[in-house]
């Protein structure tokens, strides 16, 4: 896959405010790339830099190996879907979609009407051409904005929080539809969003931004499983943090049976897995599979990774592989992160696990498909949040109930 | 009106709120207007007014070419004033809306109203000082050596009337245009550029069409009152710059022929109404695509 967009050392100042700090970013052709971050992190600014609406204070923006320094937005091979959709209210739907064709001498005038109808059909608005733009609903406006941009066949489609104005059902529907559309047209999509779920569902790769910097850039799975910093872990999904201590480095106690299911090292996952199953991802983000229940994760073909031994407050000793820890991890204090869905409460009759400890239910939040428990464990400073699927026959525990909590070395992330 | 039935709460509130303005409007607008209409069907019989219903006044207006000529000139002057004012006001409104920092916008609007702090008459006289035979412009140009003889086409003719009126009505044109420009979603302009249009073509394809309601509003606000203005042509127009309003004034005050003056006023009003309706219709077309 070729590199389409290259940002090198991009900085942006607004007066003294440093909006973008040394952004280095490479986006490949055909990729669905997301810029994810809390509001004010600079993700929209970065998108506008790529679109050409904002200049850079330092650094270069290259699209298709061409320096974009003095190229205005109307001459860039990018098109944008604005957060407000920016549908021209004085034009009809068809006129909106055809807006950008006027300057395209490469598209014959006679072919334009057909292209417009084709674009409208692609977004599911066939036959809407004659309608006044102001009479459309939010979802329809968004489709018009998509058709208007895609009809120009840009190299890059920029989407600025396109789903934030829609209600939950519509949003989920449009997420799937956008992925389908992206695969269909094969255009590089860059999505700006503050919604981690949206980014995980839709993207091939995600750059998580904080305060003008990229905190981590990875595919959704790596990002979720192996966040490189606490703030990334906190921003994406939920995570319990426990105080811990690294007591031994590099395979002092290389028990192969514990080490088999080590997570992939960052970068080993092919970034554009066009055939991945959506449902699989959905499961992962909508607090998902209980990995402690099905421990048969496919064995890694990688050579037996080096191990570290970590003492975790209240839980005991764990053996983790080095790719569960930051590079250059040292002996001594460290924070240990565990996702709620990788912890499990053992119900009666379930066989004992290698790691388990007694706890008391402190809080119960029932979501229908899931129940979130806060469980107090002796010597653990804060109650651990545990997500359990409400399987058939599985009771919902009450506050104050005692229970057994099981955990797995492979689910730990060291910070 | 459901006289006799008990009033609902809304109705009684409407009466309380609208009662006073309604009486005021009836006394000061409807009654005089009715009187003018009535007068236009009467005739002046030397000192007394003959109250027999007749169309004589309208017949006279139709027969004497002077009235048609004056009316035509009035509409033309108003048209030019409107065009000049709106064309000059648009860039000002555009500048304030697009290039003035949001915190400074109200200051700019405030500055634009400064000319209103002095009486209109004083402003007209100031224009005389500027445009006059020995005025600022002429003496300035002579000093610089651009001209040898003072220019005479800038005072006491229709040009002077146009210049003065265009200046006087500028704020009335700037404000409605400014308001619609403010309401234009800036992302629409970015979208247009994103779709390949330059800044200039974006203006013609997006900004201008979306600001048309304000332009039409400005046209109406300038055009309607300038047709009826008689002070400016009286002071600035000289002998050849008299307009229909001056004729109406002359009929009422100097020739003591109120019925004919009233008929002239009605005819002028109908012309303005007809033209205004065209613009209102145009505006509705432009408003088509908006909520």
Integer Cα distance of A242 and A265 in angstroms: 23
Q: Where are the domains of chain A?
A: 3-225, 239-285+304-414
Encode burial over A305-321: b for 16+ CB neighbours within 10 A, e otherwise: bbbbbbbbebbeebbbb
Reported as a single tens digit per residue, the pLDDT across A156-195 is 999 999 888 888 888 888 899 899 989 988 899 999 999 9
Chain A (231-290) residues lying within 8 Å, Cβ to Cβ, of chain B:
none
State the nearest Cα–Cα gap between A134 and chain B, in angstroms. Answer: 6
Q: How is residue A342 annotated by DSSP?
A: G
- Lowest-pLDDT range, A117-126, A228-237, A242-251? A242-251
B289 → closest Cβ in A72, A100, A133: A133
For residues B184 and B207, is the Cβ–Cβ distance under 8 A? Answer: yes
Q: What whole-number distance in Å separates Cα of residue A263 and Cα of residue A222? A: 9
Contact A74 B193 (CB under 8 A): yes
Give backbone dihedrals phi and psi of A307, rounded to 5 degrees, phi first: -115, 155
The burial class, CB within 10 Å (0-12 / 13-18 / 19+), for A149 is buried
Q: Establish if B186 touches chain A: CB-CB under 8 angstroms.
A: no
Q: Is B125 exposed, middle or buried (0-12, 13-18, 19+ CB in 10 A)?
A: middle
pTM to 2 decimal places: 0.78
Q: What is the pLDDT of residue A250?
A: 67
CA distance A60 to A57: 9
For B198-252, how does the pLDDT look when each residue is reduced to its tens digit (9 = 90+)?
A: 999 999 999 999 999 999 999 999 999 999 888 899 888 887 788 899 999 999 9
Closest Cα of chain B to A27: distance in Å?
A: 20
Confidence of residue A256 (pLDDT cuts 50, 70, 90): very low
CA distance B72 to chain A (A): 35
pLDDT in tens, B150-175: 888 888 888 899 999 999 999 999 99
Contact present, A8 and A165 (Cβ < 8 Å): no
ipTM of the complex: 0.79
What is the longest distance spanned by two Cα atoms in chain A?
Answer: 76
Distance of CA A19 to the CA centre of its chain: 22
Q: Can you tell me the mean pLDDT for A101-122?
A: 88
Chain A hits for B286, Cβ within 8 Å: 90
Chain A residue closest in CA terms to B209: A90
B16-67, pLDDT tens digit by residue? 889 899 999 899 999 999 999 999 999 888 788 888 888 889 999 999 999 9
Strand partners, A33: A190, A205
B195 close to A (CB below 8 A): yes
Query: Would you tell me which residues 237-266 of chain B have a C-beta closer than 8 angstroms to some C-beta of chain A?
Result: none
A3-225 — its CATH code? 3.40.50.300
Q: Which CATH class is domain A239-285+304-414?
A: mainly beta
CA angle A28, A32, A35 (to 5 degrees): 95
Asked if A335 and A244 touch (Cβ cutoff 8 Å), the reply is yes
- Pairing, β A58-63 against β A66-67: antiparallel
Q: Which residues contact B166 (CB under 8 A, 6 or more apart)?
A: B81, B84, B85, B88
Interface test with A, best of B189, B194, B205 (most A CBs within 10 A): B194
Q: Which helix (H) or strand (E) holds B221?
A: helix B208-228
Contact A79 B195 (CB under 8 A): yes
Residue B286 is predicted with a pLDDT of 67
Average pLDDT score, chain A: 83
Q: How far apart are CA A414 and CA B34, in angstroms?
A: 90
The tokens for A390 are 């409400």
Q: Which of A143, A129, A211 is nearest to A174 (CA)?
A: A143
Facing residue for A86 by CB, picked from B191, B196, B291:
B191
Q: Which domains does chain B have, with CATH numbers?
A: 65-290 (1.10.3720.10)
Tens digit of each residue's pLDDT (9 = 90 or more) over A72-109: 999 999 999 999 999 999 899 999 999 999 888 888 88
Give me the residue from A78, A79, A134 closest to B291, CB to CB.
Answer: A134
Chain A hits for B192, CB-CB cut-off 8 Å, are: 88, 99
In this complex, which of A79, A83, A90 lies closest to B209 when CB atoms are compared? Answer: A90
Q: Does B45 touch chain A (CB under 8 A)?
A: no
Residue A305 has what pLDDT?
Answer: 57
- Whether residues A103 and B196 touch (CB distance < 8 A) is answered with yes
d(CA B227, CA B11): 39
Give dist(CA A391, CA B12) in Å, integer: 64
């Amino acid at each position: 896959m070729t590199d389409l967009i290259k940002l090198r050392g991009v900085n942006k100042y607004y007066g003294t405010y440093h909006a973008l700090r040394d952004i280095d970013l490479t986006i490949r052709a055909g990729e669905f790339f997301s810029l994810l971050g809390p509001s004010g992190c600079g993700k929209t600014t970065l998108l506008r830099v790529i679109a050409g609406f904002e200049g850079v204070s330092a650094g270069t923006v290259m699209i298709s190996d061409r320096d974009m320094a003095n190229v205005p937005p109307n001459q860039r091979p990018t098109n944008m879907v604005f957060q407000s959709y920016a549908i021209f209210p004085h034009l009809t739907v068809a006129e909106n979609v055809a807006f950008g064709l006027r300057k395209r001498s490469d598209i014959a005038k006679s072919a334009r009407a057909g292209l417009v109808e084709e674009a409208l059909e692609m977004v599911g608005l066939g036959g809407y051409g004659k309608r006044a733009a102001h009479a459309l609903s939010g979802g329809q406006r968004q489709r018009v904005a998509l058709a208007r941009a895609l009809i120009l066949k840009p190299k890059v489609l920029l989407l600025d929080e396109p789903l934030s104005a829609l209600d939950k059902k519509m949003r989920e529907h449009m997420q799937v539809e956008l992925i389908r559309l992206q695969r269909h047209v094969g255009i590089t999509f860059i999505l700006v969003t503050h919604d981690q779920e949206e980014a995980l569902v839709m993207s091939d790769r995600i750059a998580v931004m904080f305060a003008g910097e990229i905190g981590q850039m990875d595919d959704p799975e790596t990002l979720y499983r192996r966040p490189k910093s606490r703030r990334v872990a906190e921003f994406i999904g939920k995570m319990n943090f426990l105080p811990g201590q690294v007591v031994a480095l590099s395979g002092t106690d290389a028990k192969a049976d514990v080490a088999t299911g080590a997570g992939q090292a960052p970068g080993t996952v092919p970034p554009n897995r066009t055939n991945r199953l959506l449902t699989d991802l959905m499961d992962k983000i909508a607090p998902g599979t209980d990995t402690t229940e099905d421990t048969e994760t496919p064995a890694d073909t990688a050579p037996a990774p080096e191990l570290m031994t970590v003492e975790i407050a209240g839980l005991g000793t764990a053996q983790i592989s080095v790719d569960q820890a930051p590079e250059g991890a040292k002996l001594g204090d460290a924070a240990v992160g565990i996702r709620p869905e990788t912890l499990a409460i053992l119900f009666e009759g379930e066989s004992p696990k290698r790691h388990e400890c007694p706890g008391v239910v402190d809080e119960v939040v029932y979501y229908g498909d899931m129940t979130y428990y806060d469980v107090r464990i002796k010597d653990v400073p804060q109650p651990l949040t545990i997500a359990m699927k409400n399987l058939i026959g599985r009771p919902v525990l009450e506050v104050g109930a005692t229970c057994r909590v099981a955990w797995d070395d492979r689910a730990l992330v060291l910070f | 009106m459901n006289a006799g039935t008990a009033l609902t709460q809304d109705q009684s509130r409407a009466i309380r709120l609208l009662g006073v303005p309604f009486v005021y409007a009836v006394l000061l607008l409807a009654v005089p207007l009715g009187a003018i209409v009535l007068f236009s069907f009467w005739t002046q019989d030397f000192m007394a007014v003959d109250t027999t219903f007749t169309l004589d006044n309208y017949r006279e207006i139709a027969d004497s070419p002077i009235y048609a000529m004056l009316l035509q000139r009035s509409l033309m002057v108003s048209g030019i004033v409107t065009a000049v004012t709106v064309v000059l006001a648009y860039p000002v409104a555009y500048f304030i809306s697009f290039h003035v920092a949001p915190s400074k916008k109200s200051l700019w609007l405030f500055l634009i109203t400064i000319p209103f702090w002095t009486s209109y008459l004083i402003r007209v006289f100031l224009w005389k000082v500027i445009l006059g035979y020995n005025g600022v412009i002429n003496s300035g140009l002579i000093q610089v050596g651009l001209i040898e003889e003072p220019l005479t086409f800038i005072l006491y003719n229709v040009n002077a009337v146009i210049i003065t009126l265009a200046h006087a009505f500028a704020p009335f044109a700037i404000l409605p245009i400014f308001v619609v420009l403010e309401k234009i979603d800036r992302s629409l302009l970015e979208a247009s550029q994103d779709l390949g249009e330059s800044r200039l073509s974006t203006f013609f394809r997006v900004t201008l069409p979306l600001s048309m309601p304000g332009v039409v509003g400005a046209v109406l606000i300038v055009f309607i009152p300038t047709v009826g203005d008689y002070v400016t042509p009286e002071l600035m127009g000289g002998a050849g710059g008299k307009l229909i309003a001056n004729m109406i004034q002359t009929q009422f005050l100097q020739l003591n022929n109120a019925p004919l003056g009233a008929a002239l006023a009605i005819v002028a009003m109908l012309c303005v109404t007809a033209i205004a309706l065209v613009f209102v219709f145009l505006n509705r077309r432009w408003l088509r695509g908006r909520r």
